[in-house]
Structure 1
Amino acid sequence: MSDSERTFVMVKPDGVQRGLIGEIVSRFEDRGLKLVGGKFMQIDEELAHEHYGEHEGKPFFDGLVDFITSGPVFAMVWEGQDATRQVRRMMGETDPADSAPGTIRGDFGLDLGRNVIHGSDHADEGANEREIDLFFDDAELVDWDQIDAEWLYE
């Protein structure tokens, strides 16, 4: 798989509280992406500040930190060809009101501040590596052979 990449995804506290972890994982698996890391965790203030650092000083920053630390999250790393773009398309637009039915946010989100899921932005060079490194040690990521890979890619 020559264009294989890894991408960071997180089910936010609202998605966890609503019992959507399994549904979201299933959607990515059904698409053919390979899960290489997963962690159910509580984000502390320090990690939240690092994760949302580019938004520090903006009026909505404190609200982001308060929300992401308000309950557990499920952090994941997915792998596949063009994985970041694939995940972003499956997630839908940041504002669920702008998301098409069939996308995660289009199906499960109603409010911009409660949009169920976070994924690294393919437009932000290095975002994947930065976010993966923030949430996972190398030892927590598993290299494995997906048995149906030959049926997913040319």
Structure 2
Amino acid sequence: ERTFIMVKPDGVQRGLVGEIIKRFESKGFKLVGLKFVWPSEELLQNHYSDLASRPFFPGLVKYMSSGPVVPMVWEGLNAVKTGRQMLGATNPADSLPGTIRGDLCIQVGRNIIHGSDSVESAKKEINLWFSEKEVIGWTPAA
């Protein structure tokens, strides 16, 4: 199973990319896709299309396009569910210690990371951010 994880602009600006990658690798997931990009508003409107009717949508797109992000594809057993558990609650105040948001952030509007919420959304998000050639299956060393 694969999941889409993205370090948001505040996570990049705070130098947390390495820490986040380390946590996923340490858990046993395999990194099969990685980019460093400054996303367009159009790409972000597409990514967050399910939130388009919400009052915070324009601010979300503005924030997410304010700097570079690090989209990633991780592979492993129950990658979507476990990935979401590793992230913690959307609101860092509700996130348990030991989760990425519980340990590394305090503000809901600057919660440093996005993770797919279902296998279906993971497929959609991976296909939106990565071409087929940019997601690479490989075998780890024994």
The amino acid of 1:99's aligned partner reads S
The answer to whether structure 1 residue 84 and structure 2 residue 94 are counterparts is: no
Q: Which runs of 4+ in 1 moved over 4 A?
A: none
Listed as ranges, the gaps of 5+ residues in structure 2 are none
| TM-superposed deviation, 1:147 | 2.9
Give the distance between the partners of 1:140 and 1:74, measured in 2 at CA. Answer: 14
Q: Specify which of 115, 122, 126 is matched with residue 120 of structure 2.
A: 126
Q: Specify which of 69, 72, 78 is matched with residue 73 of structure 1.
A: 69
- TM-score scaled by length of structure 2: 0.98
The amino acid of 1:59's aligned partner reads P
Count of aligned pairs: 142
The residue that corresponds to 1:59 in the other structure is 55
Give the distance between the partners of 2:57 and 2:140, measured in 1 at CA. Answer: 39
Q: CA offsets per residue over residues 79-107 of structure 1, 9 Å max, x none? A: 00000111111100000000011100001
Higher Rg? 1
| TM-superposed deviation, 1:23 | 0.3
The amino acid of 1:140's aligned partner reads E
Report the structure, 1 or 2, having the larger strand content: 1
Listed as ranges, the gaps of 5+ residues in structure 1 are 149-154
The residue that corresponds to 2:135 in the other structure is 141
Counterpart secondary structure, 1:35: strand
- TM-score scaled by length of structure 1: 0.90
Identity of aligned residues (%): 55
Counterpart secondary structure, 2:6: strand
